[in-house]
Amino acid sequence: MKKIMFVCHGNICRSPMAEFIFKDMIKRRGLAGEFAVDSCATSTEEIWGGIGNPVYPPAKAELAKHKISCEGKRAVQLQKSDYDKYDLFVGMDSANIRNMHRILGGDPQNKIRKLMEYTERGGDVADP
C-alpha cells in the first residue's frame, strides 16, 4: 500500500482539496485499496486547543460541485514521526517544501515532492 500525505500551510484549503480529489481519482480507477491518503499543515494557525478547523467553506463548496465530500476533515499538523509512516509527501508550494524539511528533519529517503512536479511532467501522484 502506498501512503501519501498532501501538505500545505493550514490544511483547510489546498492540501485537503488535493487529498479528496486524489481519493476520488483512485476510487474511480478501482485503486482505493492500494493507497492511504491524508493531508496536513506545516503550521498550527488553523488548530486551536488541539482541534483543527474544518475545510474552508469555499473549498468545501468547490469539492461538493464535483460530488466530492470532505466531511469530518479537520486541520492537523505534520509531525516528525510522519516521515516513517508515509511513502510520499506532496507539498503545494516552495514554502511548504522548506517547512516540511524543517519539521521532518530533512529528507534522507527523497520522499518530499512539490505537486507541480507531477503536473509539469504530465505524471500522476499514483505513480511517483
Domain ranges of the chain: 2-120
Return averaged pLDDT per consecutive 10 residues of the chain, 128 residues in all. 98 98 97 97 96 98 97 98 98 97 98 88 50
Grid cell locating 93? 508550494
Query: Is 29 known to be catalytic?
Result: no
CATH superfamily for 2-120 is Response regulator (3.40.50.2300)
* Among 8, 13, 40, 70, the one annotated catalytic: 8
| Sheet with 35-41, edge to edge strand ranges | 35-41, 2-8, 88-91, 112-114
The tens digit of pLDDT for each residue in 80-107 reads 999 999 999 999 999 999 999 999 999 9
Query: Is 8 known to be catalytic?
Result: yes
Q: Provide the pLDDT for residue 47.
A: 97
Q: Provide the pLDDT for residue 128.
A: 43
* Among 13, 14, 38, 113, the one annotated catalytic: 14
Query: Is 87 known to be catalytic?
Result: no
Angstrom distance (rounded) from CA 89 to CA 5 = 5
Q: Provide the pLDDT for residue 124.
A: 52
Helix boundaries (H) for 67-114: 94-104
pTM summary value: 0.91
Angstrom distance (rounded) from CA 36 to CA 56 = 23
Angstrom distance (rounded) from CA 5 to CA 19 = 8
Angstrom distance (rounded) from CA 109 to CA 111 = 6
Task: State the Rg of the chain over Cα.
Answer: 14
